[in-house]
Amino acid sequence: MGWRQAVGGNLDLHRRWMIRSCALTLGAVTLRIYLPASMLLGIPFTVAYPAITWLCWVPNLLVAQWMIGSRPALGALDTAA
């Protein structure tokens, strides 16, 4: 979607999709942080892994959505000058 928006000239939507894409890609990093943490806490792998597979990307996406909502649209920046 990000590429499609960039090609279509909608840079604001491109930026939003790229923020989401980065957040979801970083879910793999988050997974690798949560797994050892769950082991240190003594949570069995068979219990921790199903929860972690969701928890590794949901918080990242929530932060991305917060970032998107807290920044003005690119068009708004152009008109403010």
Digit-coded pLDDT (tens) for 43-78 = 999 999 999 998 899 999 999 999 999 877 655 555
- Is residue 58 within a helix (H) or strand (E), and if so which, with residue range? helix 58-70
Predicted TM-score (pTM) of the model is: 0.72
Digit-coded pLDDT (tens) for 22-50 = 999 999 999 999 999 999 999 999 999 99
Q: What torsion, rounded to 10 degrees, do the Cα atoms 7, 13, 18, 20 define?
A: -150
Distance spanning both ends of the chain, measured CA to CA: 29
